[in-house]
Amino acid sequence: MIDVEDLVALVHNYNPRSNAELIRAAYAYGLRVHGGQFRHSGEPYFTHPVAVAAILTEQRLDDATIVTALLHDTIEDTKATYSEVATLFGEEVAELVDGVTKLTNLQLSSSHSKQAENFRKLFMAMSKDLRVILVKLADRLHNMRTIKSMRAEKQAQKARETMEIFAPLAGRMGMQWMREELEDLAFRVLNPDARNSIIRRFITLQREAGDVVYKITADIRTELDRANIDADVFGRAKKPYSVWRKMQEKDLSFSRLSDIYGFRIITKTEADCYRVLGVIHQRWRAVPGRFKDYISQPKNNGYRSIHTTVSGRDGKRVEVQIRTRQMHEVAEAGVAAHWSYREGVRANNPFAVDPAKWIAKLNENMDDEDHDAFMENVKLEMFTDQVFCFTPKGDVIQLPRGATPLDFAYAIHTRVGNSTVSTKVDGIRVPLWTRLKNGQSVEIISAEGQRPQASWIEIVTTGRAKSAIRRSLREEDRGRFVKLGRELTRAAFENIGRKVNDKALSTAARMLGLVDEIDLLARVGSAELAARRVIETLYPDLSRDDSHEVDSRRPVVGLGDDQTFRRANCCQPVPGERIVGITYRGLGVVVHAIDCPVLAELEDQPERWVDLNWHSGRHAPVNTVRLDLTISNDAGVLGRICTLIGEQKANISDLQFMDRKPDFYRLQMDVDLRDLEHFHMIMTALEAETDVAEVSRNRDMRRKP
């Protein structure tokens, strides 16, 4: 295990102003709380956090990150708490450790590889501070380096996660070496045969052609010396995994695969980069289409370099990258370069990107040529307004920010959404309107027979949930209408001394050109069709009998023979109430109640006023009055009310649900009745009904007269 003083020295090398006491304290604390714990390999557990810290010293990271590495498993695996870590090492470290703990707790168990992208976005979204991801990546790197001591099954699972989530994440952060090493370690577990064959092939090549890397490096060196350019040349065979991936992508056999060697030329100045390029292209032929200048057009993660491929010795393709030392640091460390130290001070590398700005600016400076990078950026940009939550099985569900457990339920399946009763988030019961946060695990508790509530529309944010709830409410309305229609037709049949039956209803439906008796009932219930019409259709004689008592004169006395009239919508006067007529050009006469407030506006136009009276005989039940009702939400209540109105020989011509609470409905009901006396009978009957909490006549003066 790396000794505490060795670690302090490693940090001191690049950061002489580092707080050695803080690192010593964290080391001692970690050693103590992890005491008695062991890794699979049998080593003391604390060797792991120390190794993670050492990896981060290679990236020359700040004290907070190093201390976080030493403590990264304490909150999760020991009796240490957030507040204790905060007290001992400060809020910054406590928050970083907490962030790492949260990432560790993510259930990555999902076997769907399409979820990998979600996980990567989730990682980014959950990490307010990208140093959390740097520690997590170093943690994964050390675990992968020491994976041999794990069970085979566990090895495969960790390797897949590494390949699908952590290596691409390192790539996205611009940490090229980290990406390559993670890939290679995972490749070793996932496909050892392929990896071994590639390594054997390298060995054979070397035996046949000699040390190609050494020879090409020497060739380049010679050319640079001749041109008098001060630069370093590095060459290497590419990692087995990247060779293998190229073989897969291009479907090439190993022998035909070119550019398995990569060379880097690190210069002192930017101008030298272009001089080197000239030297290389003069000496070897450039391969068309492989030249890219990321110095004049850097990538968004700060990457700068010139890329070219030339035909080298024996026509073998050789890939060359040319950049300055500072550019190289950014290319290797990626966003980590922002925190790096060099010679005791924050490196202040002009090419390093500020991680916060990096995320904010991802979508700017799009380069048409760099399509892949563009796609990456678009994907990255998307997650800022999204949250990622988990099913109990560990599947990721991606939702817009502000989404609630109901949105989550509908995202799983409409059936799940519709039957939601309550929900647990991270194991705790919460209200359905709770806003979900990244990484929460959501359990939906559902029950057979549960139906969506109208109030849910206000709770959900996704279109999918909204439309599913509306659809279900519509269907439920239809069910309600059918029920109501059944009551209305039953009452109508009883009025003529008959019993309703399915045969009569399906006959009426056929005669009226409707689909079936359910369609008929729904139409009666929704007031599209009057129950009276059903009776008239089946028993034309009976319905005529019913009308003989009615005075067949015009209901209103005082109009000219050619004057049409209608009742004003605002006050809906009924026979028995004092009325007055107002003439409208083209509309005839509109009849208002004498106390209707609308009349006040017409006082200065006396020429339009007409004195009118209702005739004194019996009126037909055709005068619509709107009622506001509040009734209890119990089975059968609505039906009883309809029966009650039917018993009073009045007709419901329209019905609208205004508000649906768990215990009460508010609804508006239009009732066609004879006169004021009839109206009072109906009101009395309704008021006497125990399930009617409130009933009143609705005279809405906002309605057009």
- The residues annotated as belonging to the active site are 76-77
Distance CA 354, CA 358 (A): 6
| Of residues 139 and 181, the one with the C-beta less far from Mn ion | 139
* Cβ–Cβ < 8 Å for 358, 197: no
Distance CA 335, CA 358 (A): 8
Per CB under 5 A, which region of 71-79, 368-376, 552-560, 602-610 contacts Mn ion? 71-79
Q: Does 272 bind Mn ion (CB under 5 A)?
A: no
| Of residues 46 and 410, the one with the C-beta less far from Mn ion | 46
Distance CA 106, CA 124 (A): 13
| Of residues 105 and 467, the one with the C-beta less far from Mn ion | 105
Residue 132: partners with Cβ closer than 8 Å, 6 or more residues away: 68, 96, 99, 100, 103
| Of residues 70 and 389, the one with the C-beta less far from Mn ion | 70
Which DSSP category does 620 fall into? Answer: P
Per CB under 5 A, which region of 66-74, 198-206, 241-249, 303-311 contacts Mn ion? 66-74
* Distance in Å, CB of 72 to Mn ion, minimum: 6
Distance in angstroms between the alpha carbons of the first and the last residue of the chain: 91
* Distance in Å, CB of 80 to Mn ion, minimum: 14
Supply 312's token pair.
């080298």
Q: Is 691 exposed, middle or buried, given 0-12, 13-18 or 19+ CB atoms closer than 10 A?
A: middle
Give the interface size with Mn ion as a residue count (CB under 5 A): 2
* Distance in Å, CB of 112 to Mn ion, minimum: 25
Per CB under 5 A, which region of 73-81, 237-245, 483-491, 606-614 contacts Mn ion? 73-81
Which H or E run contains 218? helix 212-226
* Distance in Å, CB of 141 to Mn ion, minimum: 10
Identify residues 625-684 at the interface with Mn ion (CB under 5 A).
Answer: none
* Distance in Å, CB of 48 to Mn ion, minimum: 6
* Distance in Å, CB of 243 to Mn ion, minimum: 30
3 state SS of 409: helix
Instruction: Return the closest-CA partner of residue 164 out of 125, 129, 112, 128.
Output: 112
| Of residues 37 and 632, the one with the C-beta less far from Mn ion | 37
Residue 167: partners with Cβ closer than 8 Å, 6 or more residues away: 179, 182, 183, 186
Per CB under 5 A, which region of 65-73, 162-170, 315-323, 581-589 contacts Mn ion? 65-73
Binder to Mn ion among 73, 181, 319, 675 (CB under 5 A)?
Answer: 73
| Per-residue contact flags (x/-) with Mn ion for residues 136 to 165, judged by CB under 5 A | ---x--------------------------
| Of residues 155 and 418, the one with the C-beta less far from Mn ion | 155
Supply 129's token pair.
């501070």
| Of residues 30 and 646, the one with the C-beta less far from Mn ion | 30
DSSP string covering 60-112:
T--HHHHHHHHHTTHHHHSS--HHHHHHHH-HHHHHHHHHHHHHHHS------
Per CB under 5 A, which region of 72-80, 279-287, 430-438, 546-554 contacts Mn ion? 72-80
Distance CA 5, CA 24 (A): 8
* Distance in Å, CB of 136 to Mn ion, minimum: 9
Give me the sign of the Cα torsion angle 565, 570, 575, 581.
negative
Q: What b/e sequence results for 201-231 when a residue is b if at least 16 CB atoms lie within 10 Å of its CB, and e otherwise?
A: bbeebeeeeeebbeebbebbeebbeeeebeb
Which residues bind to Mn ion, rule: CB under 5 A? 73, 139
